[in-house]
Amino acid sequence: MNILCINTAFQTANIALSTSNGEKLSTLTSKHSESTLPEIEKMLSSFNLLPKDLDVICVNIGPGSFTGIRVGLSIVKGFSASNIKLKFVKVNSMGLIAKEYGSGEFKTVLNALSGRFFVADFKDGKMTKAPYLTADVKSKVTVGLKSENLDFVKHKVEVSSQTFLELCKEKVEKKEFVLSSELEPLYLRKSQAEENLQGERVEKLSQRYLNDVYEISKAEFGSSSWSFKMFEEELIEPNRFSYCVTENGRVLSFINVLECEGENGREYNILNIASSVKNKGYATKLIEKVIEKAKADGIVNLWLEVDAENARAISLYQKLGFKQIAVRKKYYKNGNDALILRLEV
């Protein structure tokens, strides 16, 4: 069986070819877009093979370099067009780093830039949490790439082409084949260029925005702010959802909502709402988005609580139709009362 393995997601590319007549391994440090395909052609030529003679291609889909990932997948797509019998296997960067490191319980880490990191959790060789984006990496054992040299990462590895080939062979033996249409890049965040093209918009809160949200929350609520982990957990709880206003890839305002069962039906409880810049209408946009969703979902009431001394916020909520129905005396740490407001949808 002829197996070609392509990893162009890192600064150093790994290329491996396994045939019935032997193996070839290569690492590339120059521009992947210029050096990868010529290197593959040279390796195939050394065994008198053509692309049509390949049986399997294994490719790393990321996360990692946006350009590098696209280079690898483009080569695979090109080879597939001339070889209808070709089978495909995909790996991800975190599994590859974990394979190089070994066993135990640890987190793999890649630099996602802008103070964020790609992370995945492993235990005894198995991935226990799929790759995600975070700004707060907490683990006793962290594993990353030597080339990135992140200060807080405890163990740094250099992924070898031999390790990459072994991982690919394991997946081939297990017949973990995928369709060519399933070879999509694993992007956990948009590229900087894509982020810079975005205008102001309301969107669902995702992992890549959590660092911004956490910083806004700390500035707004101080010691009463949720922890970063609490914001992360909001994204996976089935009865919770969040929106944010973004501009050019950065968060300007956010809202966290809990869905619960009330006396007269399902209700939304607004847990958090904060903005980095005041008097721009961001909070209004977010609440209107929640009201729109509430109407579509058959929600009967929206609830929130607000500091009785926060006249600006109270005025906003009243303009949106919220009415005071109760008071919680000395509810906040500063001794202020909390007003309970409700909007009937």
Average confidence score pLDDT of the chain: 92
Neighbouring CB atoms inside 10 A of 147's CB total 14
How far is Cα 187 from Cα 185, in angstroms, rounded to an integer?
Answer: 6
Known catalytic residue: 247? Answer: no
Structure tokens at 46: 């050394």
Catalytic residue among 173, 305, 331, 332: 305
Fold of 95-157: Nucleotidyltransferase; domain 5 (3.30.420)
Residue 69 has pLDDT above 80, yes or no: yes
- Which is more confidently placed, 78 or 196? 78
Q: Is the peptide bond before 63 cis (omega within 30 degrees of 0)?
A: yes
CB 54 within 8 A of CB 4: yes
- In this structure, what token pair is assigned to residue 68? 């590098």
For residue range 154-201, list pLDDT tens digits in order: 999 999 999 999 999 999 999 999 998 889 888 766 665 555 556 788
Active-site residue among 317, 331, 332, 344?
A: 317
Model pTM score: 0.59
pLDDT at 63 over 60: yes
Whether pLDDT at 252 is above 90 = yes
Task: Note the pLDDT of residue 190.
Answer: 62
Contact by Cβ (8 Å): 86, 118: no
> Which tens digit of pLDDT belongs to each residue from 276-310?
988 889 999 999 999 999 999 999 999 999 999 99
Q: Which residue has the tokens 């070879």?
A: 183
* % of residues, the chain, pLDDT over 70: 96
Residue ranges per domain, the chain?
3-91+159-182, 95-157, 193-344
The pLDDT value given to residue 119: 93
pLDDT for the residue numbered 56:
98
Q: Which residues contact 111 (CB under 8 A, 6 or more apart)?
A: 117, 118, 144, 148, 150
**What's the pLDDT band for 224 if we cut at 50, 70, 90?**
confident
Sheet hosting strand 105-113, strand order edge to edge: 126-134, 116-123, 105-113, 142-145, 155-157
**317 is a catalytic site residue:** yes
Mean local confidence (pLDDT), 249-260: 93
- Say if domain 3-91+159-182 classifies as CATH 3.90.1150.10: no
What number is the average pLDDT over the span 91-104? Answer: 96
For 193-344, CATH gives 3.40.630.30
Average pLDDT of the segment spanning 226-242: 91
One fold for 95-157 and 193-344:
no
